[in-house]
């Protein structure tokens, strides 16, 4: 099942075709694919090159995958249980000099975007989740206080929506929507749409 973005202008196919399904095949992701996905994250930009991202990666069948799955809320456990790869992104809250890194969340977000796009380029899908227990993750993986468990991601090959429970299958088939650019891009003052966004 493909759900390309219905864009106003042409954008790169990797971005146009990326979306976040819940239906994952149990087909394995190769070590080489996973290495390339994580290498892409390694080369994301970050403030002062702090690289505040860290990742805990579980392959289905290993102990780490089981613990990551245990951290998910029940809603996510149901559909993510078929994903061959689960990954937890963690952000370092302080800089190399010991002070607060006020943009660590932004930087970790960029690394996750790189993961998402590289996965798409590999013929895979990813689905990021905020629905997990941070305290549980901290406990199960001995995450230091200076590090913030931020987001979980399921990675794998997409399966057919019909393989999901009916309510999940219905969500899978819903059209993709985004706000119009005129609601997002301003000039002169906040909320004043830039003229270039209204000429389509």
For the segment 52-75, what is each residue's pLDDT rounded down to a tens digit?
999 999 999 999 999 999 999 999
In degrees and rounded to multiples of 5, residue 116 shows phi and psi of -60, -45
Structure tokens belonging to residue 153: 């991601």
**pLDDT score recorded for residue 168:** 81
151 and 106 Cβ atoms separated by less than 8 Å: no
> Quick check: 121 and 149 in contact, CB under 8 A?
no
Who contacts 22 (Cβ-Cβ below 8 Å, separation ≥6)? 79, 80, 127, 164, 168, 171, 172
Cα dist from 117 to 111, 122, 124, whole Å: 10, 9, 9
* Gyration radius of the chain's alpha carbons: 18
Q: Point out the residues of the chain with pLDDT beneath 50.
A: none
> What pLDDT was estimated at residue 74?
96
**Domains of the chain: residue spans and CATH:** 13-161+177-197 (3.40.109.10)
Please write the tens of the pLDDT for every residue from 111-124. Answer: 999 999 999 999 99
Q: Which residue has the tokens 């999901």?
A: 164
Backbone angles phi, psi at 91, to 5 degrees: -110, 135
Query: Helix (H, G, I), strand (E, B), or coil: what is residue 136?
Result: helix
- Cα angle vertex 53, ends 145, 79, to 5°? 90
pTM value surpassing 0.85:
yes
Nearest CA to 128 out of 70, 95, 80, 64 is that of 80
What's the pLDDT score for residue 196?
Answer: 93
Predicted local confidence at residue 169, as pLDDT:
84
Cα of 25 vs its chain's centroid, Å? 18
């Amino acid at each position: 099942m493909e759900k390309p973005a219905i864009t106003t202008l042409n954008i790169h196919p990797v971005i146009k075709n990326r979306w976040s399904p819940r239906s994952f095949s149990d087909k394995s992701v190769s070590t080489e694919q996973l290495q390339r996905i994580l290498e892409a994250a390694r080369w994301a930009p970050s403030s002062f090159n702090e690289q505040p991202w860290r990742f805990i990666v579980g392959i289905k069948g290993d102990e780490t995958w089981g613990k990551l799955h245990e951290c998910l809320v029940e809603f996510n456990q149901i559909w993510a249980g078929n994903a061959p790869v689960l990954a937890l992104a963690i952000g370092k809250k302080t800089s190399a000099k010991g002070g607060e890194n006020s943009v660590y969340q932004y930087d970790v977000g960029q690394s996750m975007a790189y993961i998402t796009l590289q996965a798409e380029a590999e013929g895979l899908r990813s689905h990021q989740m905020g629905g997990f227990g941070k305290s549980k993750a901290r406990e199960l993986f001995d995450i230091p206080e200076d590090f913030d468990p931020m987001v979980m991601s399921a990675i794998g090959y997409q399966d057919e929506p019909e393989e999901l429970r009916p309510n999940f299958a219905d969500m899978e088939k819903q059209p993709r929507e985004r706000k119009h650019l005129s609601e997002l891009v301003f000039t002169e003052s906040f909320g004043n749409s830039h003229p270039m966004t209204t000429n389509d």
